[in-house]
Structure 1
């Protein structure tokens, strides 16, 4: 035991085997350092596999960004599932996606993921996992192009040769989009034509919506399913009645196409009225039947489009009084007149006498062709003979009856609404007179890949009538929609750029105007007192507005408020189109000279209507239209060429 302390001291001084101990400790570090290379290579391998998986997910899911609405959460989940599927079997490898980044305008989907890979060797020194961040971006701009040009054809477009400049500019834009190269038109520097060696570009469609106070969908579409062919829409019965009694409400049905067909000298030109301003989506503040593309179906008659029929006003109510208030065809009101003729002849003296007796039976006979029963009085001849002081007489009595029509007693409303007056009616009409009054002459040209059709439609446009930007925008939107009423548009989620170009030379206009100055001729107070407006519009008259069928009104609404409602509906239509992924351009010519709104109101509406501030153009001179349309067309051509 006495040697034990010395052994301890000797052990403490003994340096033999120290290197081995130190080497043992260093071996762990050396192995970890050497193994780090292996772990790093493994990380890179997993990173590469993860990158391949993320690239595949980005390429597969990029078309999803063109859907409306975009479901970013679904894109993230599907990308996550694709990555995990590619990395299946790799023990301990974790990959988590961050929120995807979407750029619809540039067609870009960006995916990022954080990868975690377990280590083997560097775990010996406490590093149990290694991380890597990977990114993948897929870009494919929409390859096809669909453009609807909504072009103002109102009467003010005749000022300063605005229509001429518009036609030249729109034709140039058409050539720019349809052909690979254009040159200035040698005949007119305000337009351009295809270059001699130019080729037609595929995957481009264009259409035109000429608009005034109305939009013309084309009389050839009278048999389409989206037209109210049976008169079941609640709008169809407005301003019509069949019983000459304005105390009873007529709710239809009233087939306006049949009403046109019963006229002697005029048929439906093709204009339709706005659908009721009824919510089509209770959760969306912009979705109304007259501001969106809700499909028309006979199951819901208020979704159908009603042929416009501008009613005949009573006699003395301006130029839109085009049919007699009490024509012969109106047999619904009359007085039954009974005439009795009695002939008495004396055989002895050879003389005859005739006596007429007239009596009337008052009251109304209803029906389209009522008959007078003469109170059941016989209408056959009656012969009698008698002896009077030896003289023989023969008496013949003839009963006849007829209906005489008394034009008195009809109220102004009854004279306005009676349907019978249109039966077989022949009258003088024109652009602003008759049942087609103020109907835009040129019908919609649906999307087509034929540039000549577009050019011809633009050439045919005329400047007439008032301005309803809302209706023009709504039909441009519907013509780009993939469903009826015009089904030429592709599906929204396909790789197609849908573009709406709205051009107007000013503002929405209404006509409940004061009876002053030059307006005296068409804005008689008795017209506005009866209808609420000087002119019949796509919303009918303010008198047609009701809680059950909201139009534009109600009765007594000031002109400024009518215009405000039209502006609001224009904005709602633009928002609905943009929500579908449609790119909206607006062109407001001479908006600094508007009269029914302020320049600020109109310009703000057009700027907000556009998809972005740089897509709103406010030229002050018609000569600037070529450069504006050229800029838009060149932007779209560049977009078309992007891959």
Structure 2
């Protein structure tokens, strides 16, 4: 000991033992009770912390369960919250565990839940503290609150005919992924969510039913008639004494490319010579004069070119400026646009019926043409006016554009007539890529959330363009195969329908 000797300490101990008043004993007894209470407080507050954590988890679960419902009826959501809450507090140690307050703020889509409970103490009861109350609060935001509008801008060019591996062709894989995305969003949002579909290739199809709309200018259908006269051929005979004999040289294979798809064909050269044969008579002719009349019909199939004035092809700043529709002897655009709708049958049927060619028409890629119509579908103004007014915060409504393509631009815009022509050089590709980026920037200026999906794209410039088009790095998906494409669409669906705790 540093300040007292051993003998001094023993003398103090003997004096303590001879005290007759008991004051010192009472002091030590009181201290003992205090120590017991202190130990009890440590134990009971530890129990309380555990129960409070469980109560908070149950409250969070209740808020999320209510927010997950497509319904915005407060009573329906509260019933769901109570169900989940009661299931999660069944094992808690306590009493009067219940939801004490439930609320739903429709303007923000926020569900709020408050709960409380009481825990019987153990050692703290010695000090007269029989119970301890505890509370929790949670709020969840309904991301799908009846204000989501999404445009699916989907590549339907000839390159989508290529194999995607075990999943079949690229277009087959796209159909499956797109339907899953639609199902995910409509399941969470129900009739409160609207989706539009924009199939694109070299041109888009706005639907023949819109022919009289002010936002499209279509010339009248017409026909041309051509009469051809074939003169009479007299019956004549000639003596034939030679014939052509051809032999193939070394085998040779040639290739042709359509929208990036390489096709091979046999182009083995032949050598022909004339050889003598036993003379014989060959007769022909004897046909009278013949007049043939051919009627060619030119009609509108819903196809439109780009607007030629200034840069109106890249934005929706002048919705009254019409798009030029063009006629043809056959359809030179694919399936029509589906405007914003909540009808799941209409949407899934449109996806099932996506096509990549019509007869010999095998379209190439012009991404700006599809992209601007994705903006038009979401715009509150014509063309297509189903979209709600833009919200600067992109919440009421939340607008999203999903662009999926499997390749680089292979066409460029020709200002003289608004047509999309086959690229002649890298400069044409760069110009079209720049137009694509400008439309993306315009969409983002309207606070439209842009997602881009590069499906098996190998062109570096195209991937860079698509990455820059997305609203942020998380909204760009480099889907190298069919599994990655399905995962990308699933991720987008979850992003648009996810629930989040706000407190």
TM-score, length basis structure 2: 0.52
Following the alignment from structure 2 to structure 1, what is the Cα–Cα distance between the partners of residues 223 and 201? 22
Point out where structure 2 has 5 or more consecutive residues left out of the alignment. 1-107, 111-140, 164-168, 226-294, 358-362
Displacement of 1:620 in angstroms is 1.1
Q: Does the 8 Å contact 1:142/1:640 carry over to 2?
A: no
Map of 1:590 onto structure 2: 456
Summarize deviations over 1:112-154 as a string: whole Å, max 9, x none: xxxxxxxxxxxxxxxxxxxxxxxxxxx9967311111000100
Q: Does the 8 Å contact 2:454/2:477 carry over to 1?
A: yes
Are positions 1:461 and 2:357 aligned together? no
Map of 2:373 onto structure 1: 475
Change (3 A) 1:458 1:107: same
Map of 1:243 onto structure 2: none
Alignment of 1:188-207 (within 5 A): 201-207=190-196
Map of 2:313 onto structure 1: 290
Map of 1:604 onto structure 2: 464
Summarize deviations over 1:89-117 as a string: whole Å, max 9, x none: xxxxxxxxxxxxxxxxx999xxxxxxxxx
Are positions 1:307 and 2:325 aligned together? yes
Following the alignment from structure 1 to structure 2, what is the Cα–Cα distance between the partners of residues 209 and 475? 7
Change (3 A) 1:261 1:226: farther
Q: Does the 8 Å contact 1:145/1:640 carry over to 2?
A: no
Question: In terms of Rg, which structure is larger?
Answer: 1
Q: Does the 8 Å contact 2:221/2:298 carry over to 1?
A: no
Change (3 A) 1:260 1:638: farther
Map of 2:480 onto structure 1: 620
Change (3 A) 1:639 1:571: farther
Summarize deviations over 1:262-318 as a string: whole Å, max 9, x none: 97545211010000151xxxxxxxxx2001112343xxxxx21111235xxxxxxxx
Map of 2:304 onto structure 1: 272
Displacement of 1:584 in angstroms is 0.3
Match of 2:220 among 239, 248, 257: 257
Summarize deviations over 1:474-519 as a string: whole Å, max 9, x none: 0001100001010010110271110000000111113xxxxxxxxx
TM-score, length basis structure 1: 0.41
Q: Does the 8 Å contact 2:196/2:341 carry over to 1?
A: yes
Point out where structure 1 has 5 or more consecutive residues left out of the alignment. 1-105, 109-138, 181-199, 230-255, 279-287, 298-302, 311-433, 511-536, 593-598
Following the alignment from structure 2 to structure 1, what is the Cα–Cα distance between the partners of residues 501 and 352? 28
Displacement of 1:624 in angstroms is 2.1
Change (3 A) 1:639 1:474: farther
SS at match of 2:325: coil
Match of 1:496 among 394, 397, 402: 397
Q: Does the 8 Å contact 1:227/1:305 carry over to 2?
A: yes
Aligned length: 285
Following the alignment from structure 1 to structure 2, what is the Cα–Cα distance between the partners of residues 259 and 640? 58
Change (3 A) 1:107 1:604: farther
SS at match of 1:500: strand
Map of 1:581 onto structure 2: 447
Following the alignment from structure 1 to structure 2, what is the Cα–Cα distance between the partners of residues 462 and 267? 21
Following the alignment from structure 1 to structure 2, what is the Cα–Cα distance between the partners of residues 459 and 162? 13
Displacement of 1:617 in angstroms is 0.5
Following the alignment from structure 2 to structure 1, what is the Cα–Cα distance between the partners of residues 224 and 453? 39
Q: Does the 8 Å contact 2:143/2:497 carry over to 1?
A: no
Following the alignment from structure 1 to structure 2, what is the Cα–Cα distance between the partners of residues 568 and 209? 21
Following the alignment from structure 1 to structure 2, what is the Cα–Cα distance between the partners of residues 150 and 261? 37
Instruction: Decide which structure has greater strand share.
Output: 2
The alignment yields a C-alpha RMSD, in angstroms, of 3.2
Map of 1:570 onto structure 2: 436
Following the alignment from structure 2 to structure 1, what is the Cα–Cα distance between the partners of residues 377 and 224? 28
Map of 1:118 onto structure 2: none
SS at match of 1:150: strand
Change (3 A) 1:274 1:107: farther
Are positions 1:633 and 2:493 aligned together? yes
Following the alignment from structure 2 to structure 1, what is the Cα–Cα distance between the partners of residues 456 and 214? 40
Q: Does the 8 Å contact 1:147/1:205 carry over to 2?
A: yes
Map of 2:180 onto structure 1: 172
